Chain A
Amino acid sequence: MDSFTDIFQQAFALVVSGDTALWTIIWVSVKVSLTALLIATPLALIIAFILAFTRFIGRRLIISSFNVLLAFPSVVVGLIVYLLLARHGLLGDLQLLFTQSAMVIGQVFLCIPILVAMGHAALQAADRRAWETAITLGAPPWRAMLTLMYEVRFALIATVIAGFSRIISEVGSAMMVGGNILGYTRNITTAIALETSKGEFAQGVALGIILLAIALLLNLCLVFFQGRGQIHS
């Protein structure tokens, strides 16, 4: 087994070499997670808005449920989606299992709770005068909703970044419904798990470095937007 230093040297060499297999894996990760985020965000923010600005029976239960779902293990989400998409599952006829679409579905389910919970917190804290002002100035409710979201945009951007961080780094769902197929459904996290199990640590560490770089970048964005939000509040 190579020394720790050797592994890191090989990993850095792989990252800078522009290795096609490595960058294909990274591309799959980014593509799947961004697609899931694009699908989940509008839906989750509308749910968050309804929970923050309307009153109905069962509202608190729904809020609590989303908070509980935050702690839902990704492998369990993967299992549920697997059962739905398997040949004899409810959506088996769609033949989506072990495709990028299946990975997207899994990540949408993983992403929505965090987007709803954090989005709800952001919108709940928004100044209600913004909503009333938009309405009294003639905005229809959906435009007033968009105005309100604009007013708390920094908190909502932070929410979206947190959602992306959650799904780009998950392994359970991607492994179960994607199948870890090289060049197609193998993403950063499933590749790290596979390479490590094979004893090929250099590629695993190289992918880990990329994942950490993405996480660092996202967190810098998060700090920036949270700071902007505080300045404007």
Chain B
Amino acid sequence: MTDLLTIQKLSLQYGAHSAVYVEHLVIPAQGCLVLSGENGSGKTSILKILAGLIAPTSAQFSWQNQAYTWKKIKPILRNQVVYLHQHPYLFDMNVAENIAYGLRQQGINKQHITEKVKEALAWANLTHLAERSAKCLSGGEKQRVALTRARVLSPRLLLLDEPTSSMDQQAKAQTYDLIRRLRTEALSIVLTSHEITQADGLGDHYFTLQKKEIVSNSLATQPSTAQQYHTA
């Protein structure tokens, strides 16, 4: 298994307060990593850094074994990684338009977008909701639409922040099913949860944030060439 993303000595600080610290984290090119930890332990912050949405105070990054600074890796993360919020945000459009949103940013022609959206809706059994306003969906449906909207972009890394929180059992089961199907595709998933256990069979690797720190997830396959980055 090759490494997709390696992070070393990642630190996020707000003034003197340390929000999160990761000594060593390796994300393989395929499979699902489950990151658990208490509320406020910094799980969301890590995911947002991995998505290129917030800048760490300092970190060393390596993407496919090539070292990058934060400035250089940020556009790669924004292009290759999709982040889903705990309660995914769907735009004030219908479901099909939401799924097409990312494709439209890539400048794909309309006909191709229509075909891809149709295929994506069928993949997630959402075809019957295509014309429904996204604001009128249930929490479970919103999560499935958001997963489909992310998958249609074929990202290398998918970041799911507590994807089944506040869901009933049926919605949870449907979301788990989609995540299991995503695991079989050529992408890597990092999933945070305080309720998913190894018994759910979703993850390939499990690790825990303790006292806002990850020491190592011990998945490194080769010596890291990550490059030191400091914003401070």
Which positions 79-133 of chain B face chain A at CB distance < 8 Å? 79, 81-83, 85, 87-89, 91-92, 101-102, 105-106
Determine the chain B residues whose CB is within 8 A of the CB of A151 once the complex forms: 91-92
CB distance from B82 to the nearest CB of A (A): 5
Task: With a 10 A CB-CB cut-off, give which of B85, B149, B153 has the most chain A CB atoms.
Answer: B85
Residues on B facing A (Cβ under 8 Å): 48, 51-53, 78-79, 81-83, 85, 87-89, 91-92, 101-102, 105-106, 135, 149-150, 153
Q: Report whether B106 and A138 are in contact in the complex, using a CB–CB cutoff of 8 Å.
A: yes
| A contact residues, total (Cβ < 8 Å) | 17
CB of A135 within 8 A of CB of B53, answer yes
Contact B83 A136 (CB under 8 A): yes
For the A-B complex with A136-B51, A137-B105 known, give 5 more contacts whose Cβ atoms are closer than 8 Å. Answer: A132-B89, A136-B53, A137-B101, A138-B78, A151-B92
Contacts of A134 in B (CB 8 A): 101
Q: Are B85 and A133 in contact (CB under 8 A)?
A: yes
Min Cβ gap B50→A in Å is: 11
Which B residues are CB-close (under 8 A) to A139? 101-102, 105
- Check A219 for interface membership: any CB of B closer than 8 A: no
CB-nearest residue of chain A to B87: A129
> Which residues in A have their C-beta under 8 angstroms from that of B81?
136
A130 in contact with B91 (CB, 8 Å)? yes
In the assembled complex, which residues on chain B have CB atoms less than 8 Å from the CB atom of A72?
Answer: none
Binary CB contact string for chain A from 130 to 151 against chain B (1 if under 8 A, 0 otherwise) = 1011111111100100010011
The distance from the CB of B102 to the nearest CB of chain A, in whole angstroms, is 4
A-B contact pairs, 27 of them (CB 8 A): A127-B89, A129-B85, A129-B87, A129-B88, A132-B51, A132-B85, A133-B85, A133-B88, A133-B89, A134-B101, A135-B78, A136-B52, A136-B78, A137-B105, A137-B150, A137-B153, A138-B79, A138-B102, A138-B106, A139-B101, A139-B105, A140-B105, A143-B105, A147-B91, A150-B91, A151-B91, A232-B135
Please report the C-alpha to C-alpha distance between residue A139 and residue B104 in the assembled complex, in whole angstroms: 9
- CB contacts (< 8 Å) of A133 on chain B: these are 85, 88-89, 91
In the complex, which residues of chain B have a beta carbon less than 8 angstroms from the beta carbon of A140?
Answer: 105
A137-B102, A137-B149, A138-B153 known; A129 vs B78 contact (CB < 8 Å): no
**Closest Cβ–Cβ distance, residue A18 to chain B (whole Å):** 43
The residue in B53, B91, B149, B150 that gathers the most chain A C-beta atoms within 10 A of its C-beta is B91
Q: How far is the CB of A152 from chain B (nearest CB, A)?
A: 9
The complex places the Cα of A147 from the Cα of B106 at a distance, in Å, of 15
Give chain B nearest CB distance to A43 CB in angstroms: 25
Chain B: minimal CB distance from A187 (Å): 37
Using a Cβ cutoff of 8 Å, how many contacts connect chains A and B? Answer: 54
- Asked if residues A150 and B92 are in contact (CB atoms below 8 Å), the reply is yes
One digit per residue, 1 when the CB lies within 8 angstroms of any chain B CB and 0 when it does not, for chain A 33-63 equals: 0000000000000000000000000000000
Cβ contacts under 8 Å, B106 to chain A: 138
Contacts of B150 in A (CB 8 A): 137
Minimum distance in angstroms from B7 CB to a CB of chain A = 18
Closest to B81 in A: A136
Closest to B51 in A: A136
Within A110-162, which residues are at the interface with B (CB < 8 Å)? 127, 129-130, 132-140, 143, 147, 150-151
Q: Is the CB of A132 within 8 A of B92?
A: no
User: Please, which residues of chain A bring their CB within 8 A of the CB of B52?
Assistant: 135-136
B83: chain A residues at CB < 8 Å are 132, 136
Max chain B CB contacts within 10 Å: which of A138, A143, A150? A138
A205 to chain B, nearest CB (A): 44
- Complex contact B92–A232 (CB within 8 A): yes
Report the 7 A-B pairs with minimum CB-CB distance, sorted nearest first: A129-B89, A137-B102, A138-B105, A133-B89, A136-B83, A139-B105, A129-B85
Taken together as a complex, chains A and B put the C-alpha atoms of A198 and B8 apart, in Å, by: 81
Q: What's the least CB distance linking B108 to chain A, in Å?
A: 11
Q: B53 contacts which chain A residues (CB < 8 A)?
A: 132, 135-136
Name which residue of chain A comes closest to B135, CB basis: A232
Question: Considering the chains assembled together, what is the distance between the CA atoms of A127 and B92 in angstroms?
Answer: 12
